[in-house]
Structure 1
Amino acid sequence: MKISIIVTTYNRPTALNLVLAGLAKQVVNPQTEWEVLIADDGSKNDTAQLIASWQQRFPTQLAHVWHEDLGFRAGAIRNRAAAQSSGDYLVFLDGDCVPMPDFVQQHAQLAERGWYIAGNRVLFSESFTQTLLNQPNAIEIMEWSVWQWMVAKWQAKSNRALPWLRLKLSAMRKKRHSRWEVVKSCNLGVWKTDFIAINGFDEEFSGWGHEDSDFAVRLLRWGILIKDGRYAVPVLHLWHQENDRSKQAENWQKLEVTLKSHHTAAKIGYNSYLN
């Protein structure tokens, strides 16, 4: 199995740099092939320069997939990157979500036919995020001790103290198998064949909001159930200002249409990029 990590970004190179530093620290079994594709939703040239600098020293293939900035089009750039990926399994990661060193390997171990993985986040405060982004050695957070994580939680730098904890959980991971509300595209693992079967993300969702819920609902309808990724594939979510939510109400109405319908395939999606 080959894993394609698809990292969505938009004009935040300092955060993306820390995410790439986290990906560069991955501890992956030799038999696990993987690649990284940066799904760039129209960033300026400083992001391209950052990616180019990482390509010279990255431990695996690193590609830059870009489209013009025409507003928030995360679904579209994810579809475009997925069409250019060569993996059997897709892991979607946001460009402000720093992966732990076992992120790729844990996703590989959780991957199971008939299921997709809903990962979770550890939220960092605004002040702590700024501190990290201003430190050249910020990625050393990956080497924090249990005590340091406990202190960070107590000091309100982080909303959780256990990102280091790994639990098998076994059957517990499948208890919320139809809870589409828990699925976030900032940390999501899915077989590429299943992604293609539902035509990826629906690009009729314009602007921020609910395109990941629509994706989750259509996957469930296709017969692919949700596997809980807590205590296995957490990511460290850097603080950011809220996105423009002017389209949220309109997108919620589109999600309600999905919930009341029977379709599985996105109207405008992955197959737009096959040529």
Structure 2
Amino acid sequence: MNHDPRPVKISVIITTYNRPDALEMVLFSFVGQKNAPAFEVIIADDGSTEDTTWLIQQWQDRVLPFNLFHSWQADEGFRAAASRNRAAARARGEYLLFVDGDCVVFPDFVARHWALARGGWFVAGSRLLLDSAPTQACLTGKLPSPVEWSWSMWGAIWRKKGVNRLLPLLRLPDGFWRKLHPRRWKGVRTCNLGVWRGDFLAINGFDETFTGWGFEDADLAVRLMAVGIGHKSGRFAVPVVHLWHEERPRADEPRNWQRLQQTLRGEMSPYAVNGVAQYF
């Protein structure tokens, strides 16, 4: 792996857990980025087995347009918040892009996120949900990566109900309308989120008391808003294609929801007690 000493503008943080086939497709999509500023990629691994480690090592041996790092933590259940914090602590970029390891990005993804980035704002992008049949076809090579599909292919997949919608594929320029709902936290997901590293550190990153599925990303957004950082819409600019997976267990959802309600009521400090600072 080439540790390039030159400064990077963006740190892409990709969360993964035991899905190396999807992760490899996501990595290929970042190799294909066009007109992007210098960026690095950090895999936030929530305790995957050696198959994922082997895959990442194979990729690190390649000549890549970015430095690739592997941030691993022990498998102690669903701890995405902690995994992302560990990776963010290693980040050298001034801007953090959070993506899930089953979300494939288009060639303009990094460049457009960077173009939308403004001081005092975080950017939440959108996603298309791919169904199980086209997902499997892509992962087995029967279909190309969805970010390589033509409009006619997208139409054919949609008519077969293989994707939930097509509107996110449209591209609209930056504009005042992207800042019309600066306090909206609903719909903010860390499968597609850009935030300035300084703002992320100012609230101590993700709150690691959120374990299991649910709402750690919404909590992050609410706490960012509490310190004056607004929500800027990335719709019709930076979509991702979310590959199908079986629904994860949601036993912790009620507890996480109650924790989020405390944050919304202002009962919790914007600065996470159990956050990213512990990894420095």
| Shared fold (TM-score, shorter chain, > 0.5) | yes
Q: Distance in 1 between matches of 2:144 and 2:20?
A: 14
User: Is this contact kept in 1: 2:126–2:168, CA < 8 A?
Assistant: no
Map of 2:13 onto structure 1: 6
Map of 1:114 onto structure 2: 120
Residue range with higher mean Cα deviation, 37-46 or 168-177: 168-177
Shift of 1:219: 0.3
Q: Distance in 2 between matches of 1:76 and 1:143?
A: 33
Map of 1:123 onto structure 2: 129
Residue range with higher mean Cα deviation, 85-94 or 253-262: 253-262
Scaled by the length of structure 2, the TM-score of the pair is 0.93
Q: Which runs of 5+ in 2 are unaligned?
A: 1-7
1:253 aligns with 2:275: no
Counterpart secondary structure, 1:159: coil
Shift of 1:259: 1.2
Map of 1:34 onto structure 2: 39
1:149 aligns with 2:154: yes
Stretches of 4+ aligned residues off by more than 4 angstroms: none
Q: Which runs of 5+ in 1 are unaligned?
A: none
CA RMSD of aligned residues (A): 1.3
Where do residues 1-275 of structure 1 align in structure 2 (5 Å cutoff)?
2-29=9-36, 32-57=37-62, 58-135=64-141, 138-139=144-145, 141-261=146-266, 263-274=269-280
CA deviations 1:214-246 (Å, max 9, x no partner) are 111000001000010011110000011111110
Number of residue pairs aligned between Structure 1 and Structure 2: 271
Shift of 1:142: 2.5
Counterpart secondary structure, 2:186: helix
CA deviations 1:21-77 (Å, max 9, x no partner) are 111111134xx1100000000000000111111122222100000010010110001
User: Is this contact kept in 2: 1:152–1:161, CA < 8 A?
Assistant: no
Scaled by the length of structure 1, the TM-score of the pair is 0.95
Aligned amino acid, residue 38 of structure 2: E
Q: Distance in 1 between matches of 2:278 and 2:33?
A: 32
Identity of aligned residues (%): 51
Q: Distance in 1 between matches of 2:243 and 2:38?
A: 27
